[in-house]
Amino acid sequence: MPELPEVETTLRGISPYLQDQTITRIDVRQPKLRWPVEDEIQSLVGHRVRRLSRRSKYILVETDAGMAIWHLGMSGSLRLVDPGTPLAKHDHIDWHLSGGKVLRYHDPRRFGALLWVAPGQTSEHLTHLGPEPLSDAFDDEHLFNRSRGKTQAVKTFIMDGRVVVGVGNIYANESLFLAGIRPQTPAGKISKARYQRLTETIRQVLAAAIEQGGTTLRDFVGGDGKPGYFAQQLYVYGRGGESCKNCDATLKEIRQGQRATVYCPQCQR
């Protein structure tokens, strides 16, 4: 599933080709995505893209006729192609742009979405979200205060988009390892000092992934549009049963919220 760094890289990859371009045509070949694509999306045709941004894992495209919200789901991707480029299976939506390119949405599992929001309105999908992890609103005070009295595991706590957005499974595993915190520790039992360290490692891991994603930007034009997970050093994720890179202890793997969790029984407590 694309996580925050992958979505941010997607945004940076497509932005130069969409900013200030007019959407001249929208072809919806498969409207049955995670949420049905509404006919109102066609109201964007003939209007200029004024601003692109990201909120959590959503890509926001603003025009005078309303806002489109892309969500990549589990297997979705966006790429720029030339008009007339043959369609592949699962190429569900095309946006034709005045600059001559086509923004094409590909999604084998169809868990992604293209939503429409009327001018001056907000989306219910955005209103409940917590702070961005790389913003000033996200700090140790925020995590510490939100965690008081909570018995849920700290890993599921930091993956809750109402607490902080965009800390997906891969980056939660890595951040907790670097902070020295066991993922199953109750969130409410972690000290403020340890939350300060966790806040730092979440920022560190996500910022590094976004920075490394810059090398994939060329893939958004004529490529597959899938940045994938970046070539960064993973300390624990996907390494259950292997040796810890810090202490050589055997990494343990458990399931939390139907997700794989890997941790070091010696480095994390």
Catalytic positions are 2-3, 57, 259
Please choose, from the candidates 78, 121, 113, 47, the residue with its C-alpha nearest in 3D space to the C-alpha of residue 227: 78
Q: Which residues pair with 260 in a beta bridge?
A: 255
At residue 91, φ and ψ (nearest 5 deg) are -85, 100
What separation in angstroms does the CA of 32 have from each of 28, 44, 71, 90? 10, 19, 14, 12
Please choose, from the candidates 124, 134, 144, the residue with its C-alpha nearest in 3D space to the C-alpha of residue 171: 134
What is the rounded distance in angstroms from the CA atom of residue 246 to the CA atom of residue 25? 54
Question: Where would I find the H helices in 130-168?
Answer: 140-147, 154-158
At residue 68, φ and ψ (nearest 5 deg) are -100, 140
Q: What contacts 174, CB < 8 A, 6 or more positions away?
A: 201, 205, 234, 235, 236, 237
Q: Under a CB-based contact definition with an 8 Å cutoff, are residues 245 and 235 in contact? A: yes
Per the annotation, does 32 bind a ligand? Answer: no
What separation in angstroms does the CA of 194 have from each of 78, 89, 148, 222? 38, 48, 14, 45
CB 165: neighbour CB atoms within 10 A?
22
What is the rounded distance in angstroms from the CA atom of residue 151 to the CA atom of residue 184? 10
Per the annotation, does 109 bind a ligand? Answer: yes
What is the rounded distance in angstroms from the CA atom of residue 159 to the CA atom of residue 202? 11
Per the annotation, does 226 bind a ligand? Answer: no
What residues form the annotated binding site for DNA? 90, 109, 150
